[in-house]
Each structure stands twice: as structure tokens, then as C-alpha cells.
Amino acid sequence: MKLWDKGNSIDQKIEKFTVGNDRELDMHLAKYDLTASAAHAKMLGEIGILDTEEVNAILSELEKLQQQVESGSFQIEKDFEDVHSKIEFELTRALGDTGKKIHTARSRNDQVLVAMQLYFKENLQEISGKTSELIDVLLGLAEKHQDKLLPGYTHLQVAMPSSFGLWFSAYAEILIDDLYLLDAGLKIVDQNPLGSAAGYGSSFPIDRELTTKELGFSTLKYNVVAAQMSRGKCERTVTSNIASLANTLSRFAMDICLYMSQNFEFISFPDELTTGSSIMPHKKNPDVFELIRGKCNKLQAIANEMILITNNLPSGYHRDLQLIKENSIYAVENIKEILDIFTFSIGQIMVKDIDLKDEKYRYLFTVDSINDLVVQGSSFRDAYKQIGEQVQNGTYEPTDLKDHSHIGSKDNLALDKIAEKKKNLR
């Protein structure tokens, strides 16, 4: 059964090419299409297209299908193009002509739109929740290890003294920036497109404000052309926001891989969180974080793909838009898995004691030495020159470790302020 079937057959090669893997992808959307169909049926009842008995019958059947989705027994067989045709078929099989009325005043276009936006809305909230959980873990680690020193690097060269507290809380705070973006994405998808039909509205006196309320959208996309144009816009926004989060996690994962190596040896993890080598028995590999790094880089590529597919499309619907469904769903599902494994793993990190008197860290304190001279009355430029000459001629001797007391530095992490940022975002 095809919603657009007019009695003509279609070449099997064409059907296979155009349907693609929509059936598999639409399993992610079944819950949301059923929810939207229920709201649509209620609205059709309110405007007199359906009578009360018909509305109740449709709602009852939709609830049965929703229970199948929740139990995992719902299937979209190969006879169907997508979830929309499957649901309409089941309604028609159960209710006859009443089931055929469900498509009144809507198109498959706005069915896809509303299902995708409900999917994005729920999942962006879940992703934000998982990100928030990771931030809390990092802030806890920062507090626990705030006095543990860590060499800071620039250009992968020893630079200045840092701390594990500073490192953990740095990623905590930068993840809050990603929460800001996820929140912005949520605002964009939280606009009801249902009622735009094929992109130009309907001659039926539909009540779009009713469906907006029923579906829990904050507002609706008023202009029906704008609603249709939001397909692509939503996917670009969501995958871009996910890409930003993935960028943060990828950089963090790289730090972890680096710091676990014998050349750094700052951290470790329990054996059960690492893997070994088939020929080198000493290996303790950070495969989890290497895969996180690779997967996050893949997610960043998806955001660019969304732009390339949609950037030169004119207004109205085009079949190209089918191609953005797969990877936008892939991005959503994968970032959730990545956040789960990251939070699980980082919570078990083992922080090592680092001997900053090791010869390789000899110049870690040159800036503090310069600052000492400035406090004693020297100009910064003269002090810089003096310490620089000592470094060059090999006479530099590190000074005692100094407190860095200003807000946001290693000895004043402002963890409460960072936590407040996250709290204020809710």
C-alpha cells in the first residue's frame, strides 16, 4: 500500500531506489507518527470531519499500535513504503472507511515533518540530560582532584603548571556551551509544522493551534511554506549542535589517549575498561576513547553533509530531503551512546601523582619566575629577558610553586560558578 497509489504499478527498480531504507529508519519515528495521528484525529473531530464515535475508534486503534511499538512487536513489512502507510493500512483494516479518513487535511510531507520534530525534541532533551550528567561527573572529579598538579601544554610543549581540577572543570564548562546550542536547537524544532500538508496548507478549516497544544509544542510554525522549509533546517540545526558536542568530546578523548601513554603517564583506567594486543602482552589500550574520537569526528562530518544536501534547494518539497533522514537519526542515536559510555568510563579514571621536579618539567615555572621578578619591582619585559637568558645558558632554576589565586585559575576553580551556569540553563 502506498499513500500516493493511483492504481498504476511502479517499476521494482524504481521502488527499491526511492524507498531506500525508510522502513528501518521509520521504526525510530513510529511512536511519534502515532502521537501526531492521534492529535490530528482529535482535531478532525473538533472541526466536524470526524464524528465522536469515529474519533474514539481511531484513537483506540492508534493506542493499540502504540502498545505494539512499546513492546517491540510493531513491524513495517516490506509491503509498505514507510511507517505512515503502515499505520493508515492498520487503521483501515480495523475500521474500514473510518480508517481511510485519517489522511484528511494532511500530507505525507507534514507527517514526516511533525514526526521528525517530535523525535528531535524528545531526543535533544535526552541528549541535554546526558550531557548535564557528564558535566556533574566532571565537576565532581575536579573537586576531588583540585590539588593534584598537572603540567599544562601549548604546542604540545611543556608550558605552565595546571591541575587535574582545572582540566576536568575546563571540559565541564565548555560542555555547558554545548548545552546552550542544544537548547537553541530545541527552540527551533519545538514548532508545530502539522497542517502545512504538502507545503501550502489546506482548504479544510483545520485548527492548528489545537494540534500544537495536543502535541506539546511551544508554538507552531505559522507560515505553511516556512513549515515545509523547516525540513532540512531542523536537521541541519540538530546535527550541527550535535557536531559541536561531538567536537568537545573528541578533543577530550584525544587528551585522554595522550595522557594515558607512557610518555605522559598522567592517568590510567581499570583493566576492564581497556583492551590489549594480540602479540604485545604489555599493552593497555584506550580503545573506548579512540572509538569515541573517531565516532565524534564522523558526527561532525554529518553536519556538513546536511548543508551540502540542502543548501541549494528551492522552497517546497524535494525528494532530496529523504536523504537527510538517515544520518540525522544516526547522529542522534550515536551521540546518546557516546555520552553514556563516556560518562561511565570517565567516572572510573585513575589520576596519578606527577613529579613536577622531573627534569622534563624544569621550565614549567618560568612564567612564575618572571612574575616573581615583577613583584620585586622589575618591568615585565626586563624580567622576561632575564629569565629567558637563564633558560638559554642553562642556569635557570625553578622557583617554588606559586598559587594562582584569580578566579578560574588552578587554585581558584570557581566550581560553584560553573555549576550555577548549568543550573541557570534549566
Residue % of the chain over a pLDDT of 70? 93
**pLDDT attached to residue 119:** 98
SS (H, E, C) the chain: CCCCCCCCCCCHHHHHHHHCCHHHHHHHCHHHHHHHHHHHHHHHHHCCCCCHHHHHHHHHHHHHHHHHHHHCCCCCCCCCCCHHHHHHHHHHHHHCHHHHHHHCCCCHHHHHHHHHHHHHHHHHHHHHHHHHHHHHHHHHHHHHCCCCEEEEEECCEEEEEEEHHHHHHHHHHHHHHHHHHHHHHHHHHCEECCCCCCCCCCCCCCCHHHHHHHHCCCEECCCHHHHHHHHHHHHHHHHHHHHHHHHHHHHHHHHHHHHHCCCCCCEECCHHHCECCCCCCCCCECHHHHHHHHHHHHHHHHHHHHHHHHCCCCCCCCHHHHHHHHHHHHHHHHHHHHHHHHHHHHCCCEECCCCCCCHHHHHHHHHHHHHHHHHCCCCHHHHHHHHHHHHHHCCCCCCCCCCCCCCCECCECCHHHHHHHHHHHC
Residue ranges of domains in the chain, CATH in brackets: 12-101 (1.10.275.10), 108-146+162-203+222-351 (1.20.200.10)
**pLDDT attached to residue 399:** 82
Q: How, if at all, do strands 157-163 and 191-192 pair? A: unpaired
Q: What is the mean pLDDT of residues 320-339?
A: 95
pLDDT digits (tens, 9 = 90+) for 48-107: 999 999 999 999 999 999 999 999 999 999 888 889 999 999 999 999 999 999 999 999
**pLDDT attached to residue 4:** 40
Nearest-angstrom CA–CA distance, 292 and 254: 9
Predicted TM-score of the model (pTM): 0.92
Q: What is the mean pLDDT of residues 336-355?
A: 96
Confidence band for 272, pLDDT divided at 50, 70 and 90: confident
**pLDDT attached to residue 79:** 83
Residue 300 has pLDDT above 60, yes or no: yes
Q: Which of 80-84, 113-117, 147-151, 244-248 has the lowest mean pLDDT?
A: 80-84
**pLDDT attached to residue 14:** 57
- Over the chain, what is the mean pLDDT? 93
Nearest-angstrom CA–CA distance, 165 and 104: 59
Residue 10 has pLDDT above 80, yes or no: no
Q: What is the mean pLDDT of residues 334-339?
A: 98
